[in-house]
Amino acid sequence: TFEKYENFMINFYKLFYENSLKSRYYTRISNLFSGIENTPLSSQKEIYNFFQENLINIDLIPYHSTSFGLANNLSKEQNLYIKQRFESVMEFVSSINSKLIIFNGKEHLKLLDEYNYLENAKIHDINDRVKLYVFYINSVPCILFSKMITQAGTGIKNEHMREIIAKIIKKHLNIL
């Protein structure tokens, strides 16, 4: 039912903690928020409580595999759907006075570039594999990582997220 789905989405992070679910993704990304907010997030309880109070997880494309290939394999109708969904999501996050929107990965890079949102972005080389884009959509501060920063092989360590990347974000956006 819709009520069960709504409860799941509203209590998403709380359910992770209550059911002792562990997520490498959320544990890794917590280092970024720890650095931005200057708040230690070292236990699963701290991480999920912080996320429950401060984050909304919106997937632009409901579950898809990494081989989905957003920009290359879609029909005109599918591209139109993605663009309309993206615009709806941006309208929603703008309406709730979001402090920051984070896009993570090359699929978002393709999409944001195609829709010309990155024209005025400030670009930082985090290392030789990952770039950080800082920009605005509807006056909402946004960051984009050119690759999934939570995956292995990016060369980004937890302390990089907590210290270097968080410092870049705070400097450019002066938001938190």
Q: Mind listing the pLDDT tens digit for each residue in 5-21?
A: 778 878 888 888 899 88
> How confident is the model at residue 104, as a pLDDT?
85
Structure tokens at 30: 């917590």
CA distance 163 to 16: 26
Q: Mind listing the pLDDT tens digit for each residue in 40-92?
A: 998 989 999 999 888 877 766 654 555 555 555 678 888 788 888 888 888 88
pTM (2 d.p.)? 0.83
pLDDT of residue 176 exceeding 50, the answer is no
CA distance 43 to 40: 9
Stated length of the chain = 176
DSSP for 30-77, written as a single string:
HHHHHHHHT----SHHHHHHHHHHH-----SSSS--TT--TTTS--HH
> How confident is the model at residue 41, as a pLDDT?
93
Task: Indicate the residue type of 20.
Answer: S
Exposure pattern of 18-40 as b/e (b: 16+ CB <10 Å)? eeeeeeeebbbbbbbbbbbeeee
Q: Provide the sign of the torsion angle of the four alpha carbons 115, 135, 175, 129, taken in this order.
A: positive
> How confident is the model at residue 174, as a pLDDT?
74
